[in-house]
Amino acid sequence: MQHSFRQEGRVVTKEVYLGKTIPKDIEHIKLRLEHTIKRPLYGKLERIREHFQKEWKRYPDSARCKELEELAIAFTYNTNAIEGSTITLHETREIIEDKIAPHKPLRDIEETEAHNKAFLQMLKQKQKITNKLILRWHYDLFSKTKTDIAGKYRDYLVRIGDYIAPDWQDVKKLMDCLVRFTRVATGNPVEHAARVHYRFERIHPFGDGNGRVGRLLMNHILWHSGYPMLIIEYKKRRSYYRALRKDEDGFVDYFLRRYLAVHKKSIT
């Protein structure tokens, strides 16, 4: 078994001898090989976690609350803007902190308020990922603006550009599989968050709002595993969408590179 990857500008190949016949535990052998190759990467991610936890413990409770509020504003603005919201970052702050409504569509204002509340609730409560939790997130986000679909898995076919999402009759079964997958320790929590996010977006279980729920889901995994979160910035949305059009490993590669770039100060 061979696996080639790029390291410091050159291609490196690792090999494992399997014998004269393919062994029955081939998938476990493949997983061990991948873990061996990714050990340096996992070391970097672990240093990011350790640095984040060390710094986070320095904050008094009042400062932590303020930091979470700032994080919620940034996350709410970017995740909604990616999905077409007209609310700016400055207006997001005014809506959340000052309760000032800009001259913008009421739907965008209400979704800003709802997302901020749902995001902070997600951070404060470590809950087991279930279908019920995912449906509740969707309901909390869209109960005022998309009443006909809020908190419900879709029962119709959807298309996203050239991609046709799975048949609606398979959505519940696929989501059950995804929920089980969230509880399986695969590699590092950052990599696991990326794989969960990718699989969720490919299922596309809701008629609308999949991106926002999917980004809540991946950050739920990161935060409650002790890692700093990743905000997909509106200005970098094109590379994010291109990555989602790749296969799972292609998206994971994008996610890990982005995560390391955002948090590189923690490991230098």
- DSSP string covering 17-76, please? ---SS--TTHHHHHHHHHHHHHHHHHHHHHHHHHHHHHHHHHS-HHHHHHHHHHHHHHHH
Name which CATH class applies to 2-58+126-267: mainly alpha
Q: What average pLDDT does the segment 118-132 reach?
A: 95
Average pLDDT, the chain: 91
Burial class (CB in 10 A: 0-12, 13-18, 19+), 96: buried
**pLDDT category of residue 12 using cuts at 50, 70 and 90:** low
pLDDT in tens, 135-157: 999 999 999 999 999 999 999 99
Catalytic residue among 197, 204, 220, 263: 204
Report the alpha-carbon distance of residue 28 to residue 183 in Å, rounded. Answer: 18
- CA distances to 77, 79, 117, 119, 212 from 107, rounded to whole Å, are 14, 15, 16, 18, 15
**Residue 115 designated active-site:** no
Does 5 score more than 60 pLDDT? Answer: no
> Domain segments of the chain: what residues?
2-58+126-267, 60-125
